[in-house]
Structure 1
Amino acid sequence: MQKKLLFLLLFLTTLSSFAQKEIYGMITNQETQEPLAFVNIILKNNPTQGTISDIDGKFSLSLDKEFTQLQLSYIGFETKTIEVTSNDSSIFISLKPSEEKLEEVLLNTGNPAIPIIKKVIAKREENHPENLPEFTHDYYNKVIFDLQSDGKEIDSAFNAVFKGGHILMMESITKKEFKYPRLTNETVVANKVSGFKNPIFTAIATNMQPFSFYDEVIELLDMHFLNPISKGALNKYDYKLKETLVQNNDTIHLISFEPQAGKNIEGLKGLLYINTKNYAIQNVIASPADEMKIDLKIQQQYQYLPEEVWFPEQLNYSLKLSTDVGGSNDLIIAEGKSYIRNVNLQPNLSNKDFSATVLKIDDEAPKKDSLYWQNHRVIPLNEKESITYRVVDSLGKEFKVDKIISYLNKLPQGKIPVGKFDLDITHLIRYNKHEGYRLGLGLYTNEKLIKDVELGGYFGYGFKDYKWKYGFSAKYMISKNDDIFIKAAYQDDIQEIGSYGLSLSEEIFNGLRDFMIEKVDHIQKYSFSGGFRSFKYLLTEVQLNQSKITPLNNYAFNSPDYSSSPFHHTSASIKLRYAYGERLLQTPFQKISLGTKFPVLTLQYTRGFEDVLGGDFNYQKIEARIEQNVFLKNFGKTTYRLQAGYIDQVIPRSLLFTGEGSYDDDFPIVVENTFQTMLPYEFLSDRYIDVFLSHNFGSLLFKSGKFNPEIILHHNTGWGGLSDKYTLYNFKTKEDIYLESGLELARVLKFNYLDLGYITFGAGAFYRYGSYELESFNDNIAFKLNIGFSFN
């Protein structure tokens, strides 16, 4: 009896296997052979049964008949019908691009896409994965770079060098932890890059697109685009219901979106696949609506977890850059894919598990062997990818690519590694009004000589003041994770008056203001400093200085008999910088700030000591600054800086507050966070408050074809005072309110730069009014130029 039952069970199982035939397929673009994500596939004899290809163009489908027909449809491609039989276990299908547009579904009651989108918007916060209490997951990331050329010589040369492989390929395994509302940790535990071992480019894999498509504003390439499912988007976007598909008893609506005609928004275009199960995004394809030098497209696929939550499953992006080399049309392509696995929605995380460093690379990450990668790859390497590793690795060794990458790593710091030393090229050539052109160089040890220790110095010579300058320093980085360091330094150099505390001088990249430096002191300074990070977002630095300062501008402090009397200055200071929510990227060489959406507060307290190490003055100085960039949905970006300072005693002019102006006939350039109509040293203060406010509308107010200038409004206000004890100075104070406003047009002229983007030029007009308005209209107005870079 048992044998009969067993035979019957086996018979039924076999019968069931014949009744349910599973087939697997791959869908590609007939012209480019690229996989087509999210193609609609239905059984022609049963339209309620079907599926959608995944982000890699793959699909599987169960058939209950020996013979059936599949109908495939996809926006921008010809609909195709194919026949499959029970003998087909895997099929490869290509769709032909079509010039005909798929007509949207129209009902007498109006646009049927609108009610669906309204429900998606209403459920947006509920479906947003980063509104979950916490989660962890793993990424498997793969990025490839390629070149396509219609020039036979370039194409053949490329194939000869890379032997049929890609130009570059990299893989990584990343572990991510998240805790609401915005705590994130990502650790790269494994990475592999063809041609070199340096993991610096690993961050590209997961930072080219947002983790999900639910933010109010979608950020791509440092540009901010209005999300078509955000509040207020209904009045800005056109939506069309293209198709409705039933898949596994789920109804999926395919809706296209693009900015409405005449709406000047930074918008996206693409396709949404909306699953009526909680009206969530199941798939999305999106790209910038306006033409750009870089063609960017993102694709996202979501999975429905057992916890009844929609969660990202696959994230793709492609970057295509058209270039023209030697008369041939070349296309540089970067394609990235991220597969999300091992999702855990209850990991029991603590706030203590998180730091300000949101992405760090494990020291062992580049050392994983081939067996590790075989066990962790989502998809095995294909032949072209295997060739890439084999060929490019050999090329990397031959051309010492790792050494080139190490140059690129340190170049943003102004350094070029040469063996165990770094050349500091920030001292190579400079210009200011006091020194004229200044030539020099710096040389410092790097991690190859002594890990975490930097020893070195610099020199420079001014061709207008005919003086040599130099300095030495020693720095020990005790902990990179906590930014703990100590540093000792000596310098025999010049320093601008008014720059002895929080000032523009500490903003390394504000070099335009440095051109205007004219009033300086000769300074011989010894300093000792140390710093550390605490409470995730707080940086603390303490410093002790002892200086001999000689004014070089023919003024004396309480000594009218001498045109330039030196004085000694001893001070101790503490500086606090708090940037809540700041995201940091830790590379093997440096820590890079990815910014924060919240205000950044900086506070510095300085105490001057008389008769300590020869110091001449007792005083206290307090300075504070708060600044923020605020992106307003569909309104642009507001930037503000509020700064203030106070000194309690009479001290030399060098140590007072001045230099906040940037009006200079020789350099009519817009300098951020300065008064555009004020002379650099026009006012002197021992107490002040300055407010710099600007709003950039982008191209939201005006756009006509490729002409899309940015419109920027400025308003700057300042107040300052000076003790009446300063009787020997020829100075002005701004004890009334200083006012100026301006209008700036950026990106008026655009020039193609190496087919990567555009060098842009614009102009602005600023007007000085109120208590410090000058007699002549021409003296109150300042016309200035601006220079920038843009992808569109």
Structure 2
Amino acid sequence: MYQLIKHGLFLIIFLLGVAETGNSQIQGALTDAETGSPIPFANIVFEKNKAGTITDLNGKFTIHNFSGDSIQISSLGYHTAAFQISNVPSPVHLQLKPKTIELKGVDVFPGENPAFIMMQKVLENSSENNPDLASNYSCIVYHKMTFSLDISDTLNTPDSTEQKFIDINRRNHLLLMESVSEKAHKAPDKTSEKIISGRVSGFKDPALAILPGLIQPFGFYAPEIELMGIKHLNPISKSGLKNYLFLLEDTLTEKGDSLFYITYQPRKNSNIKPLTGSFHIHKKTWGIRYLKAKSALTTSPYIIDISQSYDRIESHWFPSELKSHLLIKPGQGFNSLPYGMAGNAKSIVTAINLNPDLSDRKFSNIILEDKMPRDTGNIRNLRYEPLTAKDSSTYHLLDSIGKANNLDNIIRLQKELIRGYIPAGKFLIDLKHLIGYNQFEGLKLGLGLWTGPEITNNFSLGGYYTRSFKAEMNNYGGGIKWSPSQQSRTQIEFAFNHDMHSTGVFNFYHGNVLQLDQQLKELSVAIKDREERFYASAETSLGTLSGEAFFSWSDVTPVRTYPFMPDINLPVSPLETMETGIRLRWAPQEKLTSTAFGLLPEPTDGPKIWVNIIKGTEKQTGSKNNFTKLEGQLEKTYRTGSAARTTLRVSAGIIDGWSNPGNIYSYFGTFEPVSVEVPGLFATMAPNEFAADRFLMTTFNHRIALRQNHPGNFKPEINFMTKAGWGSLESNYPSTINSFEKGFYESGIIFDNLLKVLFIKYGIGAHYRYGPYQKSTGIKNWSFRVALSFSL
């Protein structure tokens, strides 16, 4: 029996050897002939038939049971090539030469385009294949990203210092980041991702480790695909089918399943922010198996391309591996070097569970949360793949440099700048009190100083002083703030100031998020009253509802007459005002990210609603009067085309029981013959020109982005705006106050993004005043504007 078993095993081994000789296995890697970078998702076809395989995200491939003598390889953006690989030892290293021009210029076909029909089926079946809609899931994702200079390996320079820098770049990365996150999703729209571990070379604080997971979306079925903050039209969408050209390049067989290899590019006359790339579509399910997408907008300092691989798990397609390549062009963005800066990121999805036990309590409007411990050592236990020699060398070198130069101060600076401060040792300099300007006070210079967490932990004590040069007044104040953490939206504040107060304003709650609109409104303020004020507030949030409760006491001394009272020659008498109220903001579709840099909202077109309820008391020359303010605002943006957005805003307010004209609404406009565009207010109505104790304002804004799919840096945007408003006073109040109960109307046009310097976009435009309050002199009905906006 022993001899029988021994000879039987020998026979099995011999037969396996014969089978292996007759059906050999070929392993190899495919790279770019110029850069040496791996080429993912390239098609490898056996000669004379369609059997083959596809390279993975690292450009590697395996051909099982290969009995031929040659293969053919093709990939978008590269010349197709055939390779003789008979009698070549495995593994083989193959290269493709990139094409100089990737896009084809012809988009007219006789008859029906089969690729278009296939993409229609992909869209029709997208709800079954979209991981976010097909099922609930949970998973763990390992992210890794490196940054290096994009320098040829053969480059040498006579400058010895520069050559040393180049040599260091070849041996080490400039930056290495890792993170691990737990991701959970409950169909169709509840998502929670917690980053549980991270490490960044050169820094003790792992805050930047959130970056690798933000480069590209987790999946590719949304109508718009956001890459580096720019939303591109997805080819797999109703609008995408109209604006992209699809080409069926090949049909392949992978493990018995047919895959359609389809490339896509924007149509010539499409006005979209486009992608170019390819899909491998699974024939039986019409789901994405592999995809490549590239954005190379000429106005962006970045070139980014992504790759995604999907695996079939329990009859569902699910992302298994994601890769991104980010190139920051030389001398653009924050890259001032003469070389490009290349970032390579990958995300590996593990521990996939398509039937998790998920309760609604697990989810909130916070979709991404930083839960990384400041001790970065635990990443070793969660790392999906071991570090390379270059990775280890990078950590060793940069950690020592970071410790010697205290590079964590850079992270602290970024955190505080977002909150509006500049770190100064253990103190914080308040940016809003350094410099300012408005029509009434002119130039304002000063200093605000607050204690940092090193001194007072979650409390902050401080004060400020400013000088108004035109008004020749000194302003000062101080207070105390308490917040559990930078990520928290809960804060309690007590403050006192001796300063100037804008007259007739109405403000809505925005939390601690910097609002450009509010900063621009301050420029046009024409009337301010002297005020001594004590203020106390407590703010917090409950999901998508946020707001503050407040109390204020003010001793107000008017120093100028109000323009809406032209028959009054002297300022009104001083008064004492006390107010108690709440300001609420509700954005039901808004999502938030909670990181070490703060709690920040994600852009959304969903509705936003603001409500203010205020009770107050006026005391003046021995009299006392109670009043009530009710204020509200509704805003909604609609997508009205692939390159168009329409925003509607309605604002209203009412004051019941007032007695002093300084407390009614009067700051509706920002008119100057030439001025800066201020969204939300009338451009042709002067500040405090009219007043009202009840008002209604509507704003219609239709924005169209032009030339998005055209070469060159000229990408203007056109804004059509119409505003209308009505304001009135109760009949028993003096008729010396000008109101606009007949209706105030203006329309305008802004040509935006005509010029871009760093991250600021500039535009020009004009608004025209018409209707019952049109002025007799034609030119006085016009206001010419310079538009400012921020963009990466």
Q: Which amino acid aligns with 1:16?
A: L
1:353 aligns with 2:362: yes
Residue of 380, 387, 392 corresponding to 2:386: 380
Residue of 476, 489, 499 corresponding to 2:495: 489
CA displacement, residues 315-362 of structure 1 (integer Å, 9 cap, x when unaligned): 222221222599995212222211111111111211111122221212
Q: 1:141: how far off?
A: 0.7
Q: Give the Cα–Cα distance (whole angstroms) in 1 for the partners of residues 582 and 46 of structure 2.
A: 72
Aligned to 1:343: 352
1:697 aligns with 2:704: yes
Residue of 240, 245, 257 corresponding to 1:250: 257
CA displacement, residues 222-241 of structure 1 (integer Å, 9 cap, x when unaligned): 33322112114333221111
Aligned to 1:766: 767
Q: Give the Cα–Cα distance (whole angstroms) in 1 for the partners of residues 744 and 41 of structure 2.
A: 59
The alignment partner of 2:8 has SS state of helix
Q: 1:267: how far off?
A: 2.0
1:159 aligns with 2:160: no
Q: Which amino acid aligns with 1:640?
A: L
Q: Give the Cα–Cα distance (whole angstroms) in 2 for the partners of residues 174 and 353 of structure 1.
A: 15
Aligned to 2:476: 470
The alignment partner of 2:526 has SS state of coil
Aligned to 2:175: 168
Q: Give the Cα–Cα distance (whole angstroms) in 1 for the partners of residues 17 and 103 of structure 2.
A: 38
Q: Give the Cα–Cα distance (whole angstroms) in 1 for the partners of residues 326 and 265 of structure 2.
A: 20
Q: Give the Cα–Cα distance (whole angstroms) in 2 for the partners of residues 101 and 160 of structure 1.
A: 32
Change (3 A) 1:482 1:504: closer
Aligned to 1:547: 554
The alignment partner of 1:499 has SS state of coil
CA displacement, residues 101-127 of structure 1 (integer Å, 9 cap, x when unaligned): 799999986433122112112112221
Aligned to 2:642: 634
Residue of 616, 627, 630 corresponding to 1:608: 616
Change (3 A) 1:621 1:11: farther
Aligned to 1:214: 221
Q: 1:706: how far off?
A: 4.3
Q: Give the Cα–Cα distance (whole angstroms) in 2 for the partners of residues 346 and 302 of structure 1.
A: 21
Change (3 A) 1:391 1:305: same
Aligned to 1:74: 75
Aligned to 1:411: 417
Aligned to 1:236: 243
Query: Does structure 1 retain, via aligned residues, the 8 Å contact 2:725–2:743?
Result: yes
Residue of 48, 51, 59 corresponding to 1:49: 51
Deviates more, 1:717-726 or 1:565-574: 717-726
Q: 1:296: how far off?
A: 2.8
Residue of 615, 623, 626 corresponding to 1:618: 626
Aligned to 1:306: 313
Change (3 A) 1:77 1:347: same
Q: 1:37: how far off?
A: 0.7
Listed as ranges, the gaps of 5+ residues in structure 1 are none
Q: Give the Cα–Cα distance (whole angstroms) in 2 for the partners of residues 55 and 523 of structure 1.
A: 64
Q: 1:653: how far off?
A: 2.4
Q: Which amino acid aligns with 2:477?
A: G
Change (3 A) 1:175 1:582: same
Query: Does structure 2 retain, via aligned residues, the 8 Å contact 1:479–1:485?
Result: no
Query: Does structure 1 retain, via aligned residues, the 8 Å contact 2:561–2:569?
Result: no
Change (3 A) 1:63 1:643: same
CA displacement, residues 496-531 of structure 1 (integer Å, 9 cap, x when unaligned): 001365399997433222122120111111122112
Deviates more, 1:684-693 or 1:85-94: 85-94
Q: 1:422: how far off?
A: 1.0
Residue of 38, 42, 54 corresponding to 1:39: 42
Q: Give the Cα–Cα distance (whole angstroms) in 2 for the partners of residues 261 and 219 of structure 1.
A: 22
CA displacement, residues 698-726 of structure 1 (integer Å, 9 cap, x when unaligned): 11699675433211111111111112343
Aligned to 1:453: 459
When normalised by structure 2's length, the TM-score is 0.91
Q: 1:297: how far off?
A: 2.9
CA displacement, residues 640-683 of structure 1 (integer Å, 9 cap, x when unaligned): 22111011112322321121212113x52211111111112111
Aligned to 1:392: 398
1:594 aligns with 2:602: yes
Residue of 339, 350, 360 corresponding to 1:330: 339
Deviates more, 1:113-122 or 1:495-504: 495-504
Q: What is the aligned-residue RMSD (CA, Å)? A: 3.3
Number of residue pairs matched by the alignment: 777
Change (3 A) 1:700 1:313: same
Query: Does structure 1 retain, via aligned residues, the 8 Å contact 2:138–2:352?
Result: yes
Aligned to 1:25: 28
Q: Give the Cα–Cα distance (whole angstroms) in 2 for the partners of residues 102 and 572 of structure 1.
A: 63
Query: Does structure 2 retain, via aligned residues, the 8 Å contact 1:636–1:700?
Result: no
Query: Does structure 1 retain, via aligned residues, the 8 Å contact 2:140–2:349?
Result: yes
Aligned to 1:582: 590
Q: Give the Cα–Cα distance (whole angstroms) in 1 for the partners of residues 92 and 227 of structure 2.
A: 36
Change (3 A) 1:691 1:18: farther
Q: 1:567: how far off?
A: 0.9
Q: Which amino acid aligns with 1:332?
A: M
Please list, as runs of the form range in 1=range in 2, the aligned pairs for 1:196-215 lying within 5 A after superposition. Answer: 196-215=203-222
When normalised by structure 1's length, the TM-score is 0.91
Percent of pairs with identical residues: 30
Q: 1:611: how far off?
A: 7.6
Q: Give the Cα–Cα distance (whole angstroms) in 2 for the partners of residues 280 and 251 of structure 1.
A: 12
Q: Give the Cα–Cα distance (whole angstroms) in 1 for the partners of residues 239 and 593 of structure 2.
A: 34
Change (3 A) 1:625 1:265: same
Q: 1:86: how far off?
A: 8.6
Aligned to 1:734: 740
Change (3 A) 1:522 1:107: closer
Change (3 A) 1:101 1:785: closer
Query: Does structure 2 retain, via aligned residues, the 8 Å contact 1:580–1:596?
Result: no
Q: Give the Cα–Cα distance (whole angstroms) in 2 for the partners of residues 377 and 620 of structure 1.
A: 59
Please list, as runs of the form range in 1=range in 2, the aligned pairs for 1:670-709 lying within 5 A after superposition. Answer: 670-699=677-706, 706-709=713-716
Q: Give the Cα–Cα distance (whole angstroms) in 2 for the partners of residues 763 and 151 of structure 1.
A: 47
Query: Does structure 1 retain, via aligned residues, the 8 Å contact 2:563–2:689?
Result: no
Change (3 A) 1:773 1:80: same
Query: Does structure 2 retain, via aligned residues, the 8 Å contact 1:285–1:297?
Result: no
Q: 1:484: how far off?
A: 3.0
Q: 1:570: how far off?
A: 1.2
Q: Give the Cα–Cα distance (whole angstroms) in 1 for the partners of residues 82 and 563 of structure 2.
A: 91
Change (3 A) 1:700 1:530: same
Q: Give the Cα–Cα distance (whole angstroms) in 2 for the partners of residues 541 and 737 of structure 1.
A: 33
Please list, as runs of the form range in 1=range in 2, the aligned pairs for 1:76-95 lying within 5 A after superposition. Answer: 76-84=77-85, 88-95=89-96
The alignment partner of 2:273 has SS state of coil
Query: Does structure 1 retain, via aligned residues, the 8 Å contact 2:198–2:379?
Result: no
CA displacement, residues 189-241 of structure 1 (integer Å, 9 cap, x when unaligned): 11110111223323322222222111112223333322112114333221111
Q: Give the Cα–Cα distance (whole angstroms) in 1 for the partners of residues 261 and 74 of structure 2.
A: 11
Q: Which amino acid aligns with 1:782?
A: S
Query: Does structure 1 retain, via aligned residues, the 8 Å contact 2:303–2:329?
Result: no
Change (3 A) 1:87 1:750: closer
Query: Does structure 2 retain, via aligned residues, the 8 Å contact 1:106–1:112?
Result: no
Q: Which amino acid aligns with 1:347?
A: P
Change (3 A) 1:189 1:327: closer
CA displacement, residues 170-202 of structure 1 (integer Å, 9 cap, x when unaligned): 010011111123221111111110111223323
Q: 1:426: how far off?
A: 1.7
Q: Which amino acid aligns with 1:735?
A: E
Change (3 A) 1:62 1:432: same
Query: Does structure 2 retain, via aligned residues, the 8 Å contact 1:162–1:392?
Result: no
Q: Give the Cα–Cα distance (whole angstroms) in 2 for the partners of residues 362 and 578 of structure 1.
A: 26
The alignment partner of 2:675 has SS state of coil
Listed as ranges, the gaps of 5+ residues in structure 2 are none
1:644 aligns with 2:652: yes
